[in-house]
Chains A and B, each alone.
Chain A
Amino acid sequence: GAVVSQHPSWVICKSGTSVKIECRSLDFQATTMFWYRQFPKQSLMLMATSNEGSKATYEQGVEKDKFLINHASLTLSTLTVTSAHPEDSSFYICSAKQRGPDTQYFGPGTRLTVL
């Protein structure tokens, strides 16, 4: 149980285009989903927290107009990287949690490469 999927697992795009990444909780309802960014050989940096049906809460320094997050249902959250640039290339990981004591379940990640 508690499986989280991400799609796509990897994506290559041209500079200036937008890319959408999906995060789904497959066998549970996720009241909260989180989006992280991870640079090579570094830890995870929390980008934003999203609750179903409400606006995402972004961490300091994260551009909300650049990284659009939508949490339309209890099983789906999307991250759209708008007007991507090479510096946006990274490993993006989502996680999801149910109501109750904190256990976040992580997706397998999406590797974004912007040319």
Chain B
Amino acid sequence: AQSVTQLDSQVPVFEEAPVELRCNYSSSVSVYLFWYVQYPNQGLQLLLKYLSGSTLVKGINGFEAEFNKSQTSFHLRKPSVHISDTAEYFCAVSERYSSASKIIFGSGTRLSIRP
């Protein structure tokens, strides 16, 4: 079974400052990793995903994440945030070779941007 831990429930950041949202996962098998963003009263939008290959993954809206297998981490970063980045961010994992394709979500990190 897989699990995802998002260490910070809330992250306040000033506009144009860099941000890192932390995510650690646990799994006995090979996994896919995802970051999703949820704006208020909306569904989830895929920010980026790691399936294989380069461990540095670039996504939409200037976000990137780095897969670190030894530390079982997949932290999300952005060098300069904007007010519009205010949202809930979810890290997620799914088992690579599973036919069930279930995604396990972390508890979420609320990113609030201060002007």
Q: A32-B101, A46-B102, A49-B101 are in contact. Are A106 and B36 (CB under 8 A)?
A: yes
A105 near B32 (CB under 8 angstroms)? no
B window 40-88: CB within 8 A of A:
41-46, 49, 51
Whole-angstrom CA separation of A34 from B108 in the bound complex: 19
A42 near B107 (CB under 8 angstroms)? yes
Residue of B nearest to A104 (CB): B103
For B106, the chain A residues whose CB sits under 8 A away are 43
- Interface residue from B100, B101, B108 paired with A43 (Cβ < 8 Å): B108
Secondary structure of the B contact surface, majority rule: strand
B101 near A97 (CB under 8 angstroms)? yes
B108 near A42 (CB under 8 angstroms)? yes
Interface string of B79-115 (1 = CB under 8 A from A): 0000000000010001000001111111110100000
B41 near A102 (CB under 8 angstroms)? no
Whole-angstrom CA separation of A109 from B43 in the bound complex: 5
- Interface residue from A41, A102, A103, A106 paired with B43 (Cβ < 8 Å): A106
Residue of B nearest to A105 (CB): B46
B: number of interface residues (CB 8 Å): 23
> Which of B44, B49, B51, B90: most chain A CB closer than 10 A?
B44
- CB of A44 closer than 8 Å to a CB of B: yes
- CB of A61 closer than 8 Å to a CB of B: no
A49 near B46 (CB under 8 angstroms)? no
A103 near B102 (CB under 8 angstroms)? no
Interface string of B13-45 (1 = CB under 8 A from A): 000000000000000000010101000011111
A43 near B90 (CB under 8 angstroms)? yes
B42 near A109 (CB under 8 angstroms)? yes
For A57, the chain B residues whose CB sits under 8 A away are 100
For B36, the chain A residues whose CB sits under 8 A away are 106
Nearest Cβ distance between residue A18 and chain B, in whole angstroms? 23
- CB of A93 closer than 8 Å to a CB of B: yes
For A107, the chain B residues whose CB sits under 8 A away are 43
For A102, the chain B residues whose CB sits under 8 A away are 32, 51, 94, 101, 103
B residues with CB within 8 A of A: 32, 34, 36, 41-46, 49, 51, 90, 94, 100-108, 110
